[in-house]
């Protein structure tokens, strides 16, 4: 693909494109390269008396925490808290022995997450850093570290999917050693992660054309809404963030239940709603959300499990992903939202929008 000269853009579109299509290789490198590290961490964690887990981060790292928290809940079997780093640092409970605090920062330079992790370490919590940048707090001043193989010059793609892949493997290996995972769950995670690069590649190939078409149809709509629950709340957050990073336009995210308490009062005909709706624990309420969106005349873009017979027929645009445990779906669903944001940005640029330069930030 030919690109205009965008070298002076903030998070260039051309770099984003290359990084987006490079996600399968990045995931493969991460899972293969960190398998031994993750196994060693799981061995240590399984010997500990753990009372709770905190997943801590900002921005995409925060959203990735939402995307993987359910895996730790179900496979490890202890309470899990998803904490925005500032909230954890300034308003969180004092964590000490028995707590595991996993901090995510692709750059390794997030000041707020660094502060949160320093507090956790000082209080005696077992700290694990997840980053793709060497020689920082998340590698050198923690009890354990996972190094992802991600490239990030454009807006984040690989940094998110590699981190979530690594954390899913950690949850499975830890749960296996604790004997806390439901029967067959660890085997499913290992099997799906073994196919993750292929599954993400298939998503990248399948979803590019329909998302390009959708972007060309609704690029003038400045308020796309993203809705999901559980792990899909993380997926929805990523979708929202990519619009802002690409065009600086408004976009919004809501938890599925909150749609009925907030957004249903202001939904306008034709407004696009991306409903992340794979089969899972809240599917019944998700179906009611899809029905409400259609009653109000919204444009429903639904990400569903292949063969879905209830939400799927309601969708104006249908995105189908393979059947798998709900907590495994974010990285497989994400390419659709990434492609939409990328082509949405391209449409806006073609029609006169000028992306900001690094210098303004």
CA-based radius of gyration for the chain: 20
Phi, psi of 74 (to 5 degrees): -80, -35
Average pLDDT, the chain: 95
pLDDT class for 265, splitting at 50, 70, 90?
Answer: confident
Q: Give the pLDDT confidence of 82-133 residue by residue, as tens digits.
A: 999 999 999 987 678 899 999 999 999 999 999 999 999 999 999 999 999 9
Q: How much is the pLDDT for 193?
A: 98
Most distant CA atoms of the chain, gap in Å: 58
Structural domains for the chain = 13-181 (3.40.50.10490), 198-360 (3.40.50.10490)
Q: What is the pTM of this model?
A: 0.96
Residue 38 vs residue 4, higher pLDDT = 38
Q: How much is the pLDDT for 360?
A: 47
Beta strand extents in the chain (DSSP E only): 52-57, 80-84, 99-104, 126-131, 144-147, 225-228, 252-255, 272-277, 299-305, 317-321
What is the sign of the dihedral through the CA atoms of 314, 316, 318 and 324? negative
């Amino acid at each position: 693909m030919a690109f205009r000269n965008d070298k002076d853009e903030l998070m260039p579109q051309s770099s984003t494109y290359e990084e987006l299509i490079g996600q399968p290789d990045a995931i493969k490198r991460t899972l293969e390269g960190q398998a031994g590290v993750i196994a060693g961490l799981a061995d240590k964690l399984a010997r500990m008396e753990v009372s709770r887990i905190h997943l801590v981060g900002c921005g995409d790292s925060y959203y990735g925490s939402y995307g993987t928290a359910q895996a730790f809940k179900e496979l490890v079997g202890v309470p899990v808290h998803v904490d925005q780093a500032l909230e954890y640092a300034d308003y969180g409970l004092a964590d000490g022995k028995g707590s595991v605090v996993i901090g995510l920062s692709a750059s390794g330079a997030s000041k707020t997450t660094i502060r949160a992790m320093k507090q956790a370490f000082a209080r005696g919590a077992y700290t694990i850093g997840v980053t793709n940048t060497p020689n920082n707090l998340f590698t050198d001043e923690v009890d354990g570290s996972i190094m992802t193989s991600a490239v990030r010059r454009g807006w984040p793609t690989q940094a998110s999917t590699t981190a979530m892949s690594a954390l899913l493997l950690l949850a499975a290996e830890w749960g296996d050693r604790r004997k806390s995972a439901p029967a067959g769950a660890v085997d499913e995670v290992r099997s799906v992660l073994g196919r993750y690069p292929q599954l993400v590649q298939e998503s990248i190939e399948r979803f590019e054309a329909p998302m390009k078409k959708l972007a060309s149809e609704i690029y003038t709509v400045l308020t796309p809404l993203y809705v999901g629950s559980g792990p899909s709340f993380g997926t929805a957050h990523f979708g929202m963030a990519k619009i802002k990073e690409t065009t600086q336009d408004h976009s919004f995210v809501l938890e599925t239940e909150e749609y009925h308490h907030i957004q249903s009062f202001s939904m306008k005909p034709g407004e696009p709603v991306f409903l992340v709706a794979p089969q899972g624990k809240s599917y019944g309420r998700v179906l009611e959300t899809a029905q409400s969106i259609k009653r109000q005349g919204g444009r429903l873009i639904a990400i569903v499990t292949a063969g879905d017979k209830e939400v799927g027929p309601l969708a104006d645009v249908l995105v189908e992903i393979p059947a798998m445990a709900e907590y495994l779906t974010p990285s497989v669903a994400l390419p659709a939202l990434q492609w939409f944001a990328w082509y949405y940005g391209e449409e806006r640029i073609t029609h006169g929008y000028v992306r900001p330069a690094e210098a303004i930030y």
